[in-house]
Amino acid sequence: MSEIEFLSPATRVSMADEWFDYATADHFWMQWRHQVLLQQLKRANRPIRAALDIGCGHGVVRQLAERDLDISVDGCDLNRRALQLAKNGRGRLFVYDIFDKNPAMLQAYDLILLMDVIEHLDDDVAFLKAALAHLKPNGLVAINVPAHMVFYGKYDQVAGHKRRYDIAQIESLFRRTGVRRLSIVHWGFSLVPILFARKAVLRFISRDRVIRTGFAQPNAMARRILRAVQWVETSMPFPMPVGTSLLAVGCRSDE
C-alpha cells in the first residue's frame, strides 16, 4: 500500500466501490482504454514529465501511465478506501479536493488525467476548471467518458454516472473551460452490441449484482477474443465512427 498524504478531508463520492474490485490492470477494458490514451498522447506530441491523475481511485491508470510513459504520476481522490488499494509508484498519493487549490499543486503538472471521472459530477464545467488550475501553461488534459445517452442504463445508475457524452458535449466543455481541442475519438466500436446486451440483461439483475455482472472480467476464451478485437480496432488508420467511450485530449489555452 502506498503512503497516503492528506491535503483535504476524505469524503464519499458518486462511485460504486465494488467497481475497484474488478477494474484490475489486466482487465481487457482497462487495457483498451490505456492503449487509446497512449495513442492520443503520442499524437499530441508534447513533452510530459509529471502528471496528476485526478479521481485516481485505486491507481490503475497511474500504474499503467508510469510504466508506459516513463514519468512520475501523482494521484488524488477523496475516496480513502480506494486509495488504500493503490500500488506503490513513483508519484505520490493524496486525499485531495481539487477545489481547495493547494498552492503547491497549482500549475505543477504537464498532464492532467481525468479517466472516467467527470460523468460522476453534477457540474463538470466547474470541476474541469478546477482541474486545469493544476496544469502548467499549455499543458495537456486527457479525459475519458462513457459515450452516448442511448446506452445509459442500470449499470450507469449504479456506477454513479450522471450522464454519458457525445462529441459535441465534449467540444462544448472544452470551449467553456478554455481548452483547445487536439483530438476526440470514439473507442470500443466492437463493444456496442455487448453494451446493448448488457443494458437489456441488467434490467433483470438486482442492484447489488449489477457491477459484478456488468464489469467482471470474462472467461479466458472471451478475454482472448476481446483482446484480439481490441488490437484490430486500435490498429486501424482511421477513427471509429461510434464507440462505447470517448477519449479527448486538449491543451490548456493561455493565449
Three-point CA angle 14, 131, 26, nearest 5°? 60
What does CATH list as the number for 4-252? 3.40.50.150
Instruction: Note whether 27 and 222 are within 8 A (CB).
Output: no
Instruction: Note whether 117 and 107 are within 8 A (CB).
Output: no
CA distance readout (Å), 72 to 45, 53, 110, 130, 138 = 18, 10, 11, 21, 19
Rounded to 5 degrees, φ, ψ at 103 are -55, -35
Q: Which cell numbers in the block locate residue 34? A: 490505456
Q: What is the pLDDT of residue 2?
A: 64
Segment 83-86 long-range contacts (CB within 8 Å, at least 24 positions apart): 83/2, 83/4, 83/56, 83/57, 83/58, 83/59, 84/1, 84/4, 85/1, 85/20, 85/57, 85/58, 85/59, 86/1, 86/2, 86/56, 86/57, 86/58, 86/59, 86/62
Instruction: Note whether 187 and 249 are within 8 A (CB).
Output: no
- For 224, the enclosing helix (H) or strand (E) is helix 220-235
Distance, CA of 116 to chain centre: 3
Cell 473551460 sits at which residue?
A: 177
For the residues of 59-97, what is the DSSP string, one character each?
A: SHHHHHHHHHH-SEEEEEES-HHHHTTPPP-SS-EEE--
Three-point CA angle 27, 30, 36, nearest 5°? 140
Q: What is the pLDDT of residue 255?
A: 53
Q: Which cell numbers in the block locate residue 46? A: 508534447
**Collapsing DSSP states into helix, strand and coil, what is residue 223?**
helix
Amino acid identity of 89? G
d(CA 239, CA 54): 27
Query: Dihedral through CA 249, CA 143, CA 110, CA 240, nearest 10?
Result: -30
Render each residue's pLDDT in the chain as its tens digit; 255 residues: 469 999 999 998 877 788 999 999 999 999 999 999 999 999 999 999 999 999 999 999 999 999 999 999 999 999 999 999 999 999 999 999 999 999 999 999 999 999 999 999 999 999 999 999 999 999 999 999 999 999 999 999 999 999 999 999 999 999 999 999 999 999 999 999 999 999 999 999 999 999 999 999 889 999 999 999 999 999 999 989 999 999 999 998 865
